[in-house]
Amino acid sequence: MRAQASSSPRSPARGPSLAATAGFSLVEMIGVISIIGIMMAVVGPNMIRKVVETTGTREQKNLQMISDALENYVRRNQSIPGGGTWYTTLANFTKLSPTDLRYADPANPVTSGRVFMIYPGFTPATGVDPVYTLPSGGTIAPTNARILIISSTKRGLALPGTVTSGIAANTAANRTRFNNIWNWSLNPFTKAPPTGWPATWNGGGEHLHVQRIDLSPLFYHVTVSNPNFPTNIPFAKFNQLSTVAFSVTNAVDAYYPAGTVIRLYRHDTPYVGPPANPDELNVTHVVQGDVNFLYDGSPARWKVQ
């Protein structure tokens, strides 16, 4: 009888080898880190640029809002605020608080202040704040009624100390500094700030934002003639200022801001003083363009030409 061969016991099942359970090898880790580095090199600058562009777009919208508010204020009040009051003056004409108007980043007021710069050669400037208020006799033709609103949106980077709010002395250096900023535009390659900008300013033009406002078009030419002088001496009031007697043939040849209210009164009797009778009010006119008024003594009335 053949002896039955005995089978040897099976080896117990083995688990995964140590090599199979080990982590990444050094070569693999270096490869992963290299890939991450390449991705950051590509994506990082794009992300930073996107943040800068978004911040800049928001700031330009705010500056445009301030510009619109300033023009509305001039039309409503026939006045131009100065460097010390512009942000409180315009608060009622925007959705922003005085603090939000004054600073591009209110959380960092030390370095984010906006500058409200008025051209040094602006005429007729009062030299105080407000920089212009309407005189009863009008004003000469405005010259360089230009304003810059300037801001920096780079965190921790204030504008240079030479760029300040208000109206500086009317010197060649100050006029040049203003015009360099007025004429500046961002070069997308060099990103250089305006000509003459301090070399110590640690920022590029992409962080600089400039809003240019020319208020000259808001001033209109107004003439008032009284060919019946001295037989008739009519009167006028400009925005309820003191009464002006037209005691010369050509009484007014001046400029008034848009929105100025002109009230013209008849006066048919020999001159004795300003008209007291409201019925003598002949014309009420709101200045929105160049206009000429002529007094016709027969019948006594003002004509708008």
Output the domain CATH number for residue 288. 2.60.40
Do residues 208 and 253 share a domain?
no
In a domain, 24, yes or no: no
In a domain, 153, yes or no: yes
Do residues 43 and 122 share a domain?
yes
Angle at 185 between CA 179 and CA 188, to 5 degrees: 155
Domain span at residue 258 reads: 219-304
pLDDT in tens, 35-57: 776 666 655 555 545 555 567 88
Closest to 67 measured CA to CA, from 257, 210, 185, 220: 210
Do residues 72 and 174 share a domain?
yes
Do residues 84 and 156 share a domain?
yes
Do residues 234 and 296 share a domain?
yes
What pLDDT shows up at residue 10? 53
Mean pLDDT score of the chain: 83
How many domains does the structure of the chain reveal? 2
pLDDT bin (cut points 50, 70, 90) of residue 260 is very high
Whole-Å CA distances, 46 to 34, 190, 215: 19, 18, 39
Mean pLDDT of all residues in 67-83:
95
Do residues 62 and 209 share a domain?
yes
pLDDT > 70: what percent of the chain? Answer: 80
- Min mean pLDDT across 108-112, 182-186, 230-234, 273-277 is at 273-277
Do residues 164 and 300 share a domain?
no
| Boundary (domain end) residue, out of 214, 242, 257 | 214
Q: Which has more pLDDT, 249 or 70? A: 70
Do residues 145 and 233 share a domain?
no
pLDDT in tens, 87-137: 999 999 998 899 999 999 999 988 999 999 999 999 988 888 999 998 877
Establish how many alpha carbons lie within 13 A of residue 212's alpha carbon, considering only the half-sphere containing its beta carbon: 11
Q: Which has more pLDDT, 231 or 129? A: 129
In a domain, 29, yes or no: no
Mean pLDDT of all residues in 279-303:
86
Cis status, amide bond into 130, omega within 30 of 0: yes
Do residues 121 and 181 share a domain?
yes
Do residues 228 and 178 share a domain?
no
In a domain, 252, yes or no: yes
Mean pLDDT of all residues in 164-176:
95
| Boundary (domain end) residue, out of 152, 187, 214 | 214
Q: Please check whether residue 81 is in contact with residue 90, taking contact to mean a CB–CB distance below 8 angstroms.
A: yes
In a domain, 30, yes or no: no
Do residues 160 and 300 share a domain?
no
What residues pair up with 255 in beta bridges, in sequence order? 139, 221
What pLDDT shows up at residue 24? 65
Do residues 46 and 189 share a domain?
yes
